[in-house]
Structures are given as C-alpha cells and as structure tokens.
Amino acid sequence: MAASRQSRQLRFTKMHGLGNDFMVIDGVTQEVQLDQAQIRRLADRHFGVGFDQLLLVEPPGRPDVDFRYRIFNADGGEVEQCGNGARCFARFVREQGLTRKDIIDVETNTGLIQLSIKPDGAVRVDMGLPELDPAAIPFKAESRELSYAVETQGQTWTLSAVSMGNPHAVLVVDSVERAPVETLGPELESHPRFPARVNVGFMQVESPDRVRLRVFERGVGETRACGTGACAAVVAGRLRGLLDERVEVLLAGGSLIIEWPGEGHPVMMEGPATTVFEGQLWLAGSNSRRRPRRSGGARKK
Ligand SMILES: N[C@H](CCC[C@H](N)C(=O)O)C(=O)O
C-alpha cells in the first residue's frame, strides 16, 4: 500500500573538525533514509543545512564494535573514510548519550578504527595502516613508486599516491599559498589514472616536523581541513625522506598532530572536534517508524 506522504522530522547536529564541517545524524534512535539527491540538497549552503560531509551513526553490524559510521560527501557520494569526521563522531556519540566509553571501536566502509577521547576533549584516532599498492588505492601504475609523473593541463606533475581507506594524491609544493589548488585540484580529482577519483593534497614542508597543507577534496572541493589528507601527506613525506615520525600539519582551519613510525604501523591522528548547534529537519517522505529512543529520554509530545 502506498505510504501516505507526510513530513517527517530528523534530529541532527552541526559539527566541525578544524572548519571541515559536518551534519551528523543519529541513525541509532532514528530511522534515516536519505537518497543522493536529498544529501546534495542538504549540503547546499543556501537551500539546505550546508556541510562538507554528512556523517551517519548506525548501530554496529558486528559484536566487537560499538557503532557503524557512514560518510557522504556534499555531492551525495558515499565514501570510505573521514578523519575529521571520526573525531566529531566520537564527541557526538558521547554528547548524545549513545555511549559512555572513552575508547570507541567503530566500523567504517573500509574496516575498523579506534577513537580515544582524551580528558582535554581532544580525540586521538588510530586511522589504520596506509595502503600504498596502486591497485588498492586505486591508482593506475605499472609498479609501486615513492612518486609518480602524472600528465594533465599539458604539464607533468610529480605526486605520491596513498590510501587511508580513501584515495589521496599528494604533491610537494614550495608554497601552499601559490599552489594551483583551484585549477589543478579539480583536474587531478577526476584524472583517469584515479578510477575512483581522488583527494588532492598540496604540502609545503617547513621542517621535518611541520608542514602546511591544502586539500582539494573529492566530491567537495577545497576544505578548511582534511584529516585523512593530513595522514596521507605525512605518509608520503616520510616515505620520501622529508619528515619525522611526529609531524604538526598546519591547515587553514588549524593544526593536527600526525604520527607514523613507518610501514607496518598505523597512522595516528590527534585533534579537536567542535559541536556548533543542534537542529531539526523536516523531510517530505513516507510514514516512518521512529526507533524507540534509548532508555532515559522519552520524547515530549
Ligand atoms: N572527501 C573525502 C572524504 C572526507 C575526508 C575528509 N573530510 C577527512 O577529514 O578525512 C573522500 O571523498 O574520500
């Protein structure tokens, strides 16, 4: 029977990690059904809420984790990982009373990550092992190299290719201010050698323990910060012998601490997560059952 179309409400929280901003939705106590077109409209900074990514918190799909966490870019596409989002996720599930844990195990589309909420409110994330095999990034290359020559705009660009669950191209530049982010970013984002498209990082090495980074994100454009981009940049820089094990990554929205001992070890990321406001969405849609709220929070009529 065709469900009657009536508006339905969805609670959400607006958050950011160093200015990379998110709409976070609790899909544990609410039933969430959003299609790509709805996500794109919600991402619009004039007709919707406005965000770089939408983060959807879901119940775990396996007994050894606390939650599942899904990520959608502003263009509506679901992606594998989001570093700044992971930190905001940790803060969100605590603030919403969905957990009381300080160490949270989370399932994402590319595997498990572990989030640790520190007493000062910073969140430390084990982002897992970087992937450097071109086929797994994915990136079209004959063999694995420290860097690759990629042709576009009639020029040859030298870049590293790294996956943190999501694909990243990293270019070393003399100055992030002068880097061709607006033109080269979109060219490389959809370059045919990256079959799943790619996030494009422009890294200026100030010293072995401090870099500046701008990222043109897949499915979004340039963001104020990119957590997986910071991880990928440090991996690329270390492999090229430019960086120490612990690096401060300076982004437009602030700085992250990234630590990577080397191959065979996970990349650790530490940084802030900020809650900005809570809101209520009115969505035209079919009847929907609201999942019973967890104990202790009967909704007032
Ligand atoms: N645009 C990315 C997802 C978000 C990554 C970024 N916001 C982060 O903090 O890691 C991609 O398409 O893979």
Q: Please tell me the predicted confidence (pLDDT) of residue 110.
A: 85
Q: Which atom of ligand 1 is found nearest the CA of 85?
A: 9
pLDDT at 255: 98
Going by alpha carbons, the residue nearest to atom 12 of ligand 1 is: 218
Measured from the CA of 77, which atom of ligand 1 is nearest? 12
The overall pTM is greater than 0.95 = no
Judge if the beta carbon of residue 79 lies within 6 A of ligand 1.
Answer: yes
Angle at the Cα of 119 (from 30 to 88), degrees rounded to 5? 35
- For 189-218, how does the pLDDT look when each residue is reduced to its tens digit (9 = 90+)? 999 999 999 999 999 999 999 999 999 999
Q: Which residues of the chain have pLDDT under 50?
A: 1-5, 286-290, 292-301
Give the ipTM.
Answer: 0.98
Asked whether 27 lines ligand 1 (CB < 6 A), one says no
Contacts of 32 (CB under 8 A, 6+ apart): 10, 25, 56
- The pLDDT of residue 153: 81
DSSP string, 237-296: HHHTT---SEEEEEETTEEEEEE--STTS--EEEE--EEEEEEEEEEEES--PPPPPPTT
Cβ partners under 8 Å of residue 163, min gap 6 = 130, 131, 132, 136, 137, 232
**pLDDT tens-place string over residues 23-41:** 999 999 999 999 999 999 9
Closest ligand 1 atom, residue 80 Cα: 13
User: Which residues are designated catalytic?
Assistant: 82, 226
163 lines ligand 1 (CB under 6 A): no
Domains identified in the chain and CATH numbers? 8-126+274-283 (3.10.310.10), 134-265 (3.10.310.10)
287 among the known binding-site residues?
no
Best probe residue, ligand 1, of 22, 78, 197, 217 (max atoms within 8 Å of C-beta):
217
